[in-house]
Every structure is written in C-alpha cells, then in structure tokens.
Amino acid sequence: MIIFPAIDIKNGVCVRLIKGDFRQITSYENTPIDQASLYFQNGFNNIHIVDLDGALHGRPANSILIQEIINKVKAKIQIGGGIRTIDDISRWIKIGVDKVVMGTAAVENIELLKTACNKFENKIAVSLDVKNGFIALSGWEKQTDISPIDFIKKIENFGVSRIIYTDINKDGTKKGPNIKDAVELSTKAKIPFVISGGISSINDIKKIKSLKNSNIEGVIVGKSIYDGDIKINELAKQI
C-alpha cells in the first residue's frame, strides 16, 4: 500500500483546512520545499500536493514553487488543484509530475477526462470529494447532486489510474477516515482507490493496510503529520 504524505499550498505556504473550510485554515512554519524534503529523506517516494489557490481560482497558481519541489525532491509527485484543461495537464507532465489529479474538470466535463486519459496514459487520477453522499467541486465550495457511484460507472473504462476518495466531513478533523464508504465504493469500481481525510493515528494506517480483498491502493496523510499526532519516522515504518 502506498502512503502519500500531503502538502497543501496556499499563498506559497503549507496549510491545512478543516472540512475544506477556508475560514478554518492553519499555516505551518515549514516551507513546502522543506516539507517535501523531509518526506523524501524519511523514505517516502510518493507525495500528494494540492494547489489550493488553483482549486479556488480554477487555474494552477503555485506552479513555480511546485516545480522547485520537483527539481529538488526526486519523489513521485501527485498534483491536484485548478487543473481544468489539456494544456494544464501537459504542462504538469512536462514539469515532471507522476500523476495529475483532475477533480472539478473531470466531473463537469467527462469528455475532457476521457481525452486526457487517452492522451496521457496512466497519468490521470480523479479526485472524488464527497460531502453528505454527493460530490463537491471547486475547492469543495460547490455542492452537486451527483452520487459517487453514478460518476464512477461513467468513467470506469476511461483508463483513470486511481481515484482519490475524500470524505469532506472527515478531512482535517483527525477523527478517523471513512473507511466503510471508501471500501464499499471501491468494490464497485475497477479503478484503484486512495483514501483521504480524517487520518488520526498510525492505527488508522494499519487498519487500512489490513483490509482484505479490497481495491484500496493507498492512503493520504496530512494534518496528523503537521500537528505531531503521527511522527514521520513512525509513519515511515508503515511504507
């Protein structure tokens, strides 16, 4: 199972939100480059980065900073936030990211997602951000009436490399992930799932790792690392 330590960037600094609420934002001292270096030095070869400014404004906003991370840290970078066009995807891939995460654009323009998957084979992941049972978009500020399973059924043959499932009501709360819904959805899909949101302890990681016959490929860990609930060296033992 892949463990993705997370870096959320807003205004050039590392931040974490609670339930996707930009009014409940915490900034951290480590720069994004320092944080990425810390992860890589501790043996993490996959890093999940979200450009929160990009997610809010609908276009990548921290590209120069993220390119510096890619140049310095030789890990596989998975990037999301504000990716709306084929040109956006192409630029990230040329910069050297491993996976480009489409969220709002994938849901609002399924043909764009299909085109991207065909053009950039095994490079496209989809962010499935769910609140109260339905998909949310645009930095989680726009609620839809689209059920996750209906959307998955439409895209499951496109060649999406992975789905990142986030329960928004869990994200940033450190109250434990929504494993039940993630597993239930993953069993209905052909696409590997990554669980995100609410990770509170090493025990949560172990619980996900112990799942039998599931389609869970990995887990994203963010706020618990920054707040010290999960020690980076202890998490590294779970790789």
Q: Is 88 part of the annotated catalytic residue set?
A: no
DSSP letter (8 states) at residue 126: E
Give me the residues paired with residue 14 across strands. 9
Q: Is 167 part of the annotated catalytic residue set?
A: no
CA 47, 13, 140: angle at the middle one, nearest 5?
A: 70
Which among 51, 88, 129, 171 is annotated as catalytic?
129
Q: Would you say 196 and 8 are in contact if contact means Cβ atoms under 8 Å apart?
A: no
φ, ψ at 123 (rounded to 5°): -115, -10
Which among 8, 88, 167, 171 is annotated as catalytic?
8
Q: Would you say 9 and 61 are in contact if contact means Cβ atoms under 8 Å apart?
A: no
How far is 198 from 145, CA to CA, in rounded Å? Answer: 23
How far is 209 from 206, CA to CA, in rounded Å? Answer: 5
Catalytic residue IDs: 8, 129
